[in-house]
Structure 1
Amino acid sequence: MDFKSIEVNIPSKTVNYSIIIGQGLMENAGSLIKDVYRGRKIMVVTDENVDGLYGDIMLKSLEKEGFVVIKYIIPPGEKSKSNYYLHKGYDIMVENGFGRDHLVVAFGGGVVGDLAGYLAATYMRGIGLVQIPTTLLSQVDSSVGGKTAINHPAGKNLIGAFYQPDRVIIDVGVLKSLEKRELRAGMAEVIKYGLIFDSDFVDYLRNNYQEVFVYNPRVLGRIIEQSCNYKARIVEEDQKEKGIRALLNFGHTIGHSLEAVTGYRKYKHGEAVAIGMVGAARLSERLELLQEGEADKVAEILRLYGLPLSYQYGEDPEMVYKTLFYDKKVKDNKLTWILLKNIGKGFIKNDVNDNIINEVLEGLK
């Protein structure tokens, strides 16, 4: 079994964890989990799509190592990140005698990871958690760093906890089963890392976009490894988003608002974030923080990956503006923006004129 390992060292965790990246890891998930979990009982949280594709493989891998497996299968989609499915999970765990010495495995995309992570964080005040992400977006972003949550009608991820996993297992091979739309959505988060941290990475993504869409394992493996390295180093420095970790929200202020005003039914998360990154780049340029023409370069790399650059469903800019204030980063009724000084250099800014924000939101129509 060939894989690469990235260590995540969280000061507040007595036992730190590894991100394991490779191909064919799903068949070996049982042994990789056995390295970090000495109990027998596991609840695998997954969705109907992932279970149909890989459920039997995962079950066989876990049972081969002697684990007793209980599955909790939820419907795919953002609507499953709800209080209803959270409490249904608790019910299954109680009925099957789960205790503090047992484990939750999040086996799926970002929705599964968030819901299962919050289940693990809150059941009996916290039990073991392993993340096995199956979408590009969850592999490069949501499975790493310990953010877990469910949604509230007023906004995305308003109810949650920071809860680090015991291990993250990333099988690059599962990406072959992703629809192109899901792959594009995941690339939005990858591009985000380059835009805020590393212009050379943006160049690599620009030069290799065709390889991504033929699922080249070498290119995808490098992209995932590089993204996880960025995420891990930031999380180590700022686990609970009190400072520099906020940079990872580039594009998310507008993106989360778009998801909320469309009822979490229209946009993939990465699609909404892509529009948000265009808006944040234009805002940076409008404030003369970014050189003229640089916002167009941001739009260009997103366009290469087939991501949307403007509102797709007739959103009302005024409603988008109002919904911005449900964002978790609002302080004293002031929005926190992640903007760009250059491509590859993001920074945090709080005092942005409301009129300029509204102009940018209007321009995304």
Structure 2
Amino acid sequence: MNFKISQKSSEVAVNSLVSIESVLQYLENIQPKVVFIDKAVLESNNVISNVLGKLELEIFVLEDPERDKGFAKLQQCYEFLHEINVQRNDTVVAIGGGATTDLVGFIASTFKRGIKLCLIPTSLLSQVDACIGGKTAINFLEVKNLIGSFYNPNEIVICTEFLMSQDKQQYLTGVSEIIKHALITSEAETDYIYENIEAINQRNTKSLEEIINRSINIKKDIVNEDFLEAGKRKFLNFGHTFGHGIESANVENAILHGHAVAIGMLMALQYSYDQELLSKNDFNKSSNLLRSINYDFSKIELDPNKIYNFMKSDKKNSSNQSISLILLNGFGEPVIYEETDTNKLLNFLNTFAKDFEK
């Protein structure tokens, strides 16, 4: 599948026939200058480690990409690229989940003002969300993705075989983004996810290929219209202002992004209903879909004051006087809602947290 985003073209292969072996053959064919790879991915598959060892490529192993997504590792990577004399027409490859593609994307966008980039996402979350749309970022001051850029990769290769061995809860983080895409698109798309929940849970290869393809197309179409997030692309942040607040407030608990976003969407749906934007039927249907996923929320603490303080510093806010929320006016009808009432939002967070613990 080929599509264009902004002024650059990205190629996305969504094909269950594309095995990990064929992905490695692809690397041999394009001969990138360097491959950045998540250590967990490297060690989880003997084929990857054996083949990469035989290819004459520079390899940079990221020990813990989520922890490494900061200035210290960024400097090490810059120094490494400089030492091996990477030029602007050289290609760097990122193999790993969203944290890996975020970090390496930011490196590629800034080193020598931009070098060629290929992303090979290995998690469901990164395949349907993180690698699509050109967002790159690093964490700063304990705030996720506070510093970043918009930079499209030259190519994206998606292989569903990587998902077959992914940890269940890690896999479900990607399901959160698939549901988000459905909710902001239409009731028909939401119904499609409902109908395929069992196939998603069982990781049916053929079904996953179609589900991933549809989810990518939803995000791709939005990004095509608004690459720099000046308008419609903001709708992709549905559940994320609440979610990032939850994630930042739980930094010591190392919770999963998709789980925080799932709760963030439940919050956004409840807030939409409370503001009389969302009908009771639509609220129940959308909330029940999220609650039907077997997320493990046991590590997540909902501290209203902490969440609110992080929401105030969210980069998506349009001013210092309000918190920008994406709410739903119905299936496929996301709206930007500027909340200026601190007490109302804090009372909501307190009520939601108490109900959530029951």
What's the TM-score, normalizing by structure 2? 0.91
| 1:199-237 superposed Cα distances (whole Å, 9 cap, x missing partner) | 112112112212112210111111100010011111111
Q: Which moved more, 1:293-302 or 1:151-160?
A: 293-302
**Are residues 284 and 312 of structure 1, via their aligned partners in 2, closer, same or farther at CA, if it must alter by over 3 Å?**
farther
Instruction: Say which SS state the counterpart of residue 160 (structure 1) adopts.
Output: strand
Matches within 5 A, 1:1-365: 5-10=1-6, 12-13=7-8, 16-23=9-16, 24-29=18-23, 32=26, 40-54=31-45, 56-57=47-48, 60=51, 68-76=56-64, 78-263=66-251, 265-307=253-295, 313-333=300-320, 334-351=322-339, 353-365=341-353
Distance 1:199 1:77 in 2: 36
- Kept in 2, the 8 Å contact 1:311–1:364? The answer is no
**Are residues 41 and 288 of structure 1, via their aligned partners in 2, closer, same or farther at CA, if it must alter by over 3 Å?**
closer
Give the count of matched residue pairs: 351
**Are residues 96 and 218 of structure 1, via their aligned partners in 2, closer, same or farther at CA, if it must alter by over 3 Å?**
same
Identical aligned pairs, as a percentage? 33
Shift of 1:297: 2.5
**Are residues 238 and 273 of structure 1, via their aligned partners in 2, closer, same or farther at CA, if it must alter by over 3 Å?**
same
What's the TM-score, normalizing by structure 1? 0.90
Shift of 1:247: 0.4
Distance 2:113 2:28 in 1: 23
Shift of 1:298: 2.3
Shift of 1:173: 1.3
Instruction: Say which SS state the counterpart of residue 33 (structure 2) adopts.
Output: strand
Gaps of 5+ in 2: 354-358
- Kept in 1, the 8 Å contact 2:253–2:299? The answer is no
Distance 1:319 1:90 in 2: 34
- Kept in 2, the 8 Å contact 1:185–1:269? The answer is yes
Shift of 1:299: 2.2
Q: Which moved more, 1:260-269 or 1:86-95?
A: 260-269
Shift of 1:184: 1.1
Instruction: Say which SS state the counterpart of residue 285 (structure 2) adopts.
Output: helix
Instruction: Say which SS state the counterpart of residue 228 (structure 1) adopts.
Output: helix
| 1:88-107 superposed Cα distances (whole Å, 9 cap, x missing partner) | 11121112121112111110
Shift of 1:307: 3.0
**Are residues 9 and 111 of structure 1, via their aligned partners in 2, closer, same or farther at CA, if it must alter by over 3 Å?**
closer
Distance 2:135 2:227 in 1: 9
Shift of 1:53: 2.4
Distance 1:319 1:197 in 2: 31
Instruction: Say which SS state the counterpart of residue 235 (structure 2) adopts.
Output: helix
Instruction: Say which SS state the counterpart of residue 213 (structure 1) adopts.
Output: helix
Q: Which moved more, 1:186-195 or 1:344-353?
A: 344-353
| 1:23-75 superposed Cα distances (whole Å, 9 cap, x missing partner) | 2243233665688x6xx442111111101124743773796xxx741111112
Gaps of 5+ in 1: none
- Kept in 2, the 8 Å contact 1:278–1:295? The answer is no
**Are residues 313 and 60 of structure 1, via their aligned partners in 2, closer, same or farther at CA, if it must alter by over 3 Å?**
closer
Instruction: Say which SS state the counterpart of residue 339 (structure 1) adopts.
Output: strand
Instruction: Say which SS state the counterpart of residue 156 (structure 1) adopts.
Output: strand
Instruction: Say which SS state the counterpart of residue 247 (structure 1) adopts.
Output: helix
Shift of 1:258: 1.1
Instruction: Say which SS state the counterpart of residue 240 (structure 1) adopts.
Output: coil
Instruction: Say which SS state the counterpart of residue 58 (structure 2) adopts.
Output: strand
